[in-house]
Copies of this chain bind each other. A is one copy, B any other.
Amino acid sequence: MGKERKIDMVILGLLSHERLSGYDIKKRIDGTISFFWKGSFGSIYPSLSAMEEEGLITSTNESINGRDKITYEITKAGKNKLKEWLKDTKATNDLKYETLLKVFFGGVGGKEITLNSIDSFETDIKRDLEILRCYQSNLSKALDNEDHMYYYLTVSFGVKSYEAYLEWCKEARELLSKK
């Protein structure tokens, strides 16, 4: 249904660190957390309007080099809402693995077709894992900085699970290749 807009928490979290525009927020999401959470303009802009109405954030119109920009700042009420959400240990961790769906129904298409899907998945994961390992290596040198440490932990989650995915690809290929 959508009683609680989760995108609100992403935005409040990002704004708790710095003043940002909708466009900036999209860039931050794509650049740092997109491997476990995505967000589109179609949810970001309406959320910003709604949260300003609710007094969780405030906006400022700026004009940088003639380019109009609306930047947002978190309010005390916004920080409280963010903290309340953090305190709540219940969390919905949802996955939609179309690759696994194709494997599950693999019998309909046959082994070769299923192997193609797995190969494609493996290629994507290998590429993304390399990027994550790069982040991990850099972040591990700055674990004394609190924010860097939390960022490191999410990246480490990505690395560990992607490594597990690759092991699975190997197992799957072995099982599907043998006669």
Chain A residues engaging chain B, CB cutoff 8 angstroms:
6, 9-10, 13, 16, 32-33, 35-38, 79, 82-83, 85-87, 89-109, 113-114, 116-117, 119-121, 124, 143, 146-147, 149-154, 156-157, 160-161, 163-165, 167-168, 171-172, 175-176
The complex places the Cα of A176 from the Cα of B36 at a distance, in Å, of 21
Copies of the polypeptide in the assembly: 2
Nearest-Cβ distance from residue A26 to partner chain B, whole angstroms: 16
The complex places the Cα of A121 from the Cα of B89 at a distance, in Å, of 8
Main secondary structure of the interface of A (DSSP, over half): helix
Given known A13-B108, A101-B33, contact A175–B6 (CB-CB < 8 A): no
Q: Cβ of A89: which chain B residues have Cβ within 8 Å of it? A: 116-117, 119-120
The complex places the Cα of A92 from the Cα of B10 at a distance, in Å, of 21
User: Can you name 24 A-B pairs with beta carbons within 8 Å?
Assistant: A10-B101, A13-B104, A13-B108, A36-B97, A37-B101, A38-B94, A82-B105, A83-B108, A87-B113, A89-B119, A90-B120, A91-B97, A91-B98, A91-B101, A94-B95, A97-B157, A100-B157, A103-B153, A103-B154, A106-B153, A143-B175, A152-B175, A157-B168, A160-B164
- Which residue of the partner chain B has the closest CB to A16? B108
Most chain B Cβ neighbours within 10 Å, of A90, A107, A121, A156: A107
The complex places the Cα of A86 from the Cα of B102 at a distance, in Å, of 6
Whether the Cβ atoms of B150 and A103 lie closer than 8 Å is: yes
Partner of A164, one of B103, B113, B161: B161
Whether the Cβ atoms of B147 and A172 lie closer than 8 Å is: no
- Which residue of the partner chain B has the closest CB to A162? B164
Q: Cβ of A165: which chain B residues have Cβ within 8 Å of it? A: 157, 160-161
